[in-house]
Amino acid sequence: MSRPIPIASPFQRLAALLDGETPGLSPIDMTIGEPRHKVPDFVGPVLAGALADFGRYPPIRGTNAFRSAVADWLDRRYGLQTPIDRETGVLPLNGSREGLFFAAIEAVKRRGAVGGRTLVLLPNPFYQVYAAAAEAAGAEAVLLPAGPDTGFLPDLAAVEPALLERTAALFFASPANPQGAVASLDGWVGLIGLARRHGFMLFADECYSEIWRGAPPPGVLEAADRMGDGYGAVVSFNSLSKRSNLPGLRCGFAAGDADFLAGWAAFRNVAAPQVPLPVQAVAVAAFADEAHVVENRRLYDLKFAAAEARLGPLFGAVTPPGGFFLWLDVARFGGGEAVAARLWREAGVKSLPGAYLAADTGPAGGNPGADYLRLAMVEAPDRTDAALARITGVLTR
């Protein structure tokens, strides 16, 4: 399960794949998970009202208003019986990505010597920052299969206890990127118990938590709350990028284990980027408003309905329970790279080969993303439907 993982941007690899190729039609980009729905109306007025605060250095722990807004939202969202501590249980992040990166460094430092090289566990496929974080922390990344055989989520039962004893952190995303799979409440409870028994941190990447169909995904803090022993060994990472269509705001949070956050804040105070005070003011307004989030989900629902109509005859059901990606098994059409190149050449649709979001596990396992194609459903509904029609046309020719 462990082997050197090349650290490379999937989008740079895609650029190399398509270099010199001319798009067959006017381009439609379905590669990057960058929401393109409307920016909420309150963003401009809130920024304008807080402009003077761009003249101040922000504290690494954030404002009282920011921490309270995040904690209030978490309490409401997950029905927490033990409220998140407004002073010690929340930290602002300059986007969840930087938080996920820096957190691994703190986790490895806290773990200390463990009788062998310290490990960081990550799913395969995975968000590339997980592997970069493990490398920067000096840990060995261990890949856990997250394919159809395990419900597109990593199965920790398959990990030897001896490896868990050397583990500093587990990265676990729900809804998963790219597959959209969602962990159950019992699943989260099991992971928390495992982390506490073996002394590692559970880093829950929940930045797609508000993009769902049918029912909201359970959360790691919700599971810890139900267990009744506080939030030890658990940190949830989230942001406004997906929830509020604000990827350029670069504002997120980490919440959970207060002891971990306290030590991490001291490190972050000298190494990590702060979140500007006007940006935190926007976050306070965003976490207090659910209307724009409901509208956001409505638009995604429209696009997934179009995907079922267009692609269902070819692939069967394609809609995941969470997130805004399609994860299509295109093995019978030649695999992810071949299909991505063909869609660009023949239809001007830019897509991402699944192999670029995963790592090769050797001859026995290969690359678990090689047969897949990821499509980001981030464009407007009419433009998305046009792209889906082009894809269907190419694959049925």
Answer for the pair 31, 349: CB distance below 8 angstroms, yes or no: no
Residue 146 scores a pLDDT above 80? yes
Q: Which amino acid is at 360?
A: D
In this prediction, residue 4 has a pLDDT band, given cuts at 50, 70 and 90, of: low
Domains with residue ranges and CATH for the chain = 10-38+292-396 (3.90.1150.10), 55-287 (3.40.640.10)
The whole model's pTM is what? 0.97
Paired tokens of 52: 């003077």
Residue located via tokens 């109509």: 309
In this prediction, residue 361 has a pLDDT band, given cuts at 50, 70 and 90, of: confident
In this prediction, residue 365 has a pLDDT band, given cuts at 50, 70 and 90, of: confident
pLDDT digits (tens, 9 = 90+) for 14-31: 999 999 999 999 999 999
Answer for the pair 235, 259: CB distance below 8 angstroms, yes or no: no
pLDDT digits (tens, 9 = 90+) for 207-225: 999 999 999 999 999 999 9
Burial of 255 (0-12, 13-18, 19+ CB in 10 A): buried
Residue 2 scores a pLDDT above 70? no
Residue 3 scores a pLDDT above 60? no
Helix axes 128-136, 96-111, angle to 10 degrees: 40
